[in-house]
Amino acid sequence: MKTMKAAKVKKHGEIGENCWSIWLEASEIVDEVNPGQFIHVKLNNGEKLLPRPLSICETDTSSNTLRLVYAVVGKGTEALSQVKTGETLRILGPLGNGFDINQSASKSIIVGGGMGIPPLLELSKNIPGKKEIYLGYSSTPFLLEEFEKQNADIYVSTDDGCFGYKGTVIDLMRYNNAQGDSLYSCGPKPMLKALSGWAEKNKIPAQVSLEERMACGVGACLVCTCKVKKENENDWKHQRVCADGPVFRSQEVVWDE
Amino acid sequence: MNEKKINMPDLSIDLAGIKLKNPIMTASGTFGSGKEYGEYVDLNRLGAVVVKGVSLTPWKGNPTPRVAETYGGMLNAVGLQNPGVDAFMSEDIPFLKKYDTRIIVNVSGKSIEEYCGVAERLAEADIDMLELNISCPNIKEGGITFGTDTKMAALVVKEVKKVSRQPLMVKLSPNVTDITEIAKAVEAEGADAISMINTLLGMAIDAKNKRPILGNVMGGLSGPAIKPVALRMVYQVCRSVKVPVVGMGGIMTGEDAAEFILAGATGVAVGTANFTNPSATVDVLEGLESYMKHQGFSSVGEIQNAMKK
Ligand SMILES: Cc1cc2nc3c(=O)[nH]c(=O)nc-3n(C[C@H](O)[C@H](O)[C@H](O)COP(=O)(O)OP(=O)(O)OC[C@H]3O[C@@H](n4cnc5c(N)ncnc54)[C@H](O)[C@@H]3O)c2cc1C
Ligand SMILES: Cc1cc2nc3c(=O)[nH]c(=O)nc-3n(C[C@H](O)[C@H](O)[C@H](O)COP(=O)(O)O)c2cc1C
């Protein structure tokens, strides 16, 4: 039977403005990870009952560790940021379905916004062929060095213009005339919605990783749903971000919210 | 004190004529159809799997966010999303039949006709018991109105009894002034067992953005935060009806389960705890077994009678 596992913190610290990086020892999990999957992190202390879903940013099979990169937005992530190296957390995963990598693409476009950027690092490592990577930040970039090690063209935008192109990542893609035959993305919903429109217009099949507030993480409780309309069905259905996603085909997502 | 140590306590229970290998069940809506937890829990070890609510036709459920965590608990407003009784019967029952556990199906409806329609469809299904959910706070019509009005509760139980084939357990709402009144009314109309409590109606507000957190505005509170209320109500109901009671509300450990049985419950269900740890059900089972060994209880019935004044 699968269970929640104790994971030792190997390295933990702030790598940017409200941006934290944590490496966890997770031997059985590391080998199973598909880029785009997440883990549930349960804190030992603090008032939070429910685990917190965090995307797997990258794995290192030689040391059996995986990395999470997160921002402090509330009490759970605040408590997480105080965990020290050597302590253990309880984790469950890998959960969800990752990206479906098009192995025959000659060029792929990867687009990340804010805290949607972390899972795209492991993805970038696994995508064959040429790549254009677009990263949108509100202000200071993070994980840029790691992305620069990938064999890809990297383009950066910031909302305040303090680094790279000033504007949204989609403005930057238009400006740059982004091209490719597969698109992968993770970021805030308004960005994904706009991107889905861009991909449709340019006839590029796109996959987007969505976020919703979760509880169980395994598909049982039906709280983290999003609206999805399959091509062969007449009406939309609520699908589970945790178990049916978090990655969906952008043309199947009903972008009304 | 001189406590005898028990090596192998008998955990089996009799729930309205149905024998369960142990008193541990899953709380409806927190365990899917069992399939979702199949990788984490050996379903053969559970006394019964109580599946998510099923309605006559597919229900889409409420808009998101459907969950808000609160101190020691959580609010949910799923709104009974489910694919309908036909899909349930063709997909979920065959899956559960592969296991040696009891199957209890949670029945939802917005009208008496709908409740009866589901019970009628399930009459031919190979399941062990029905749980009539007259207590969901997350749907506007039906649900809760049946659970908070004594006359309506009695009426729906009476009508469903006419068409159902399996024993009928009725799930009560805590959102009432006197729960014993509803319990007595459903017992009088032939309820074979009572399960309780469903979630407590609550609300969470995002102070920074000045708006309700849940898409449905209000939702049902569950988890450890509601355990004292649940225990009190189980205690009261067990003293006012003769039918067996399945207790739930914030059970996280074997000792929590024992407390409900001390209050008079025959069985218990584990809900929100599954979300914090997917093996919660078997952990509670093992905890209860060890409690019985240490306390010298040889059967569940002995715990039920052990409460001191
Ligand atoms: C599949 C998935 C992968 C994720 N990956 C990452 C990641 O790699 N890095 C990262 O920093 N964050 C990620 N998140 C978001 C992260 O789970 C939330 O930020 C975290 O749970 C907030 O917990 P908290 O206790 O700090 O905040 P809470 O106290 O619970 O809430 C504080 C604020 O955060 C917002 N919030 C809470 N939960 C979510 C959520 N699930 N999605 C969006 N906003 C939320 C609320 O609107 C609220 O205003 C991911 C979420 C999902 C569903
Ligand atoms: C996400 C969620 C969904 C639920 N769905 C149902 C349901 O479909 N039918 C029902 O009778 N009760 C439902 N409940 C209520 C639980 O079965 C249980 O009565 C309640 O959560 C209290 O137990 P707990 O504190 O152990 O979770 C649901 C609870 C939660 C948290």
Q: CA of A52, closest CA in chain B: separation in Å? A: 10
- Domains identified in chain A, total number: 2
How does pLDDT run across A108-120, given as a tens digit for each residue? 999 999 999 999 9
- Number of structural domains in chain B: 1
Least confident of A32-46, A131-145, A182-196, A235-249: A32-46
Interchain pair B64, A219: CB under 8 A: no
Residues A56-70: tens digit of each pLDDT: 999 999 999 999 999
Counting runs of H as helices and runs of E as strands, what totals does chain B give?
11, 16
Taking an 8 Å cut-off on Cβ atoms, the answer to whether A237 and B277 are in contact is no
Q: Which residues of B touch A (CB under 8 A)?
A: 29-32, 36-37, 39-42, 52, 60-61, 63-69, 71-74, 76, 78, 81, 223-224, 272, 274-279
For B298: left if phi > 0, alpha if psi spans -120 to 50, otherwise beta; the answer is: alpha
Asked if residue B214 is part of any domain, the answer here is no
- What is d(CA A250, CA A100) in angstroms, rounded to the nearest whole number? 13
Active-site residue, B136 included: yes
Instruction: Give the confidence band of B137 by pLDDT, cuts at 50, 70, 90.
Output: low
Contact B134, B172 (CB under 8 A): yes
Question: Residue B2's pLDDT is what?
Answer: 45
Residue B1's pLDDT band (cuts 50, 70, 90):
very low
Residue to test with chain A: of B45, B50, B275, most A Cβ within 10 A: B275
Indicate which CATH number applies to the domain containing A30. Answer: 2.40.30.10
My answer on whether A85 and A116 are in the same domain is no
Query: How many helices and strands in chain A, by DSSP H and E?
Result: 6, 16
| Paired residues of B205 in beta bridges | B212
Query: Which residue of chain A is at minimal alpha-carbon distance from B65?
Result: A213
ipTM above 0.95, yes or no: no
- Give the pLDDT score at B299: 97
Instruction: Output the pLDDT for position B139.
Output: 62
What does residue B59 show for φ and ψ, rounded to 5 degrees? -115, 140
Residue with tokens 């983290």: A224
CA dist list (Å): B90 to B60, B122, B126, B163: 19, 11, 11, 21
A46 ligand 1 Cβ < 6 A: no
Which of ligand 1's atoms lies nearest the C-alpha of A53? 17
Q: If we measure between CA atoms, which residue out of B90, B79, B97, B93 comes closest to residue B51?
A: B93
| Residue A133 CB less than 6 A away from ligand 1 | no
Provide the domain limits for residue A25. 5-95
Test mutation, A238, A240, A241, A257, chain B, max B CBs within 10 A:
A238
Cα B2 to ligand 1 centre (Å): 52
Q: Which of B15, B43, B129, B136 is catalytic?
A: B136
The CATH number of whichever domain residue B39 belongs to comes to 3.20.20.70
- DSSP conformation class of B299: B
Q: Calculate how close chain A gets to B40, using CA atoms only, in Å.
A: 5
The per-residue pLDDT of chain A, averaged, comes to: 94
Q: Is the domain of A31 the same as that of A87?
A: yes
Domain interval for residue B91? 2-61+79-201+222-304
Q: What is the dihedral of CA B200, B210, B70, B236, to 10 degrees?
A: -20
A102 part of a folded domain:
no
What six digits make up the tokens of A110?
A: 């990867």
Give the pLDDT score at A256: 83
Dist CA B68 CA B63 (whole Å): 13
| Same domain membership, residue A168 and residue A75 | no
Are residues A111 and A91 both part of a single domain? no
Q: Do A57 and A26 belong together in one domain?
A: yes
Note whether A124 and A63 are same-domain residues.
no
**What is the average per-residue pLDDT within A47-61?**
93
SS3 content of chain A, % helix, strand, coil (to 5): 20, 35, 45
pLDDT tens string B90-126: 999 999 999 999 999 999 999 999 999 999 999 999 9
* Residue B36 belongs to a domain: yes
Domain final residue, candidates A39, A61, A95: A95
The pLDDT score that the predictor gives to residue B4 is 61
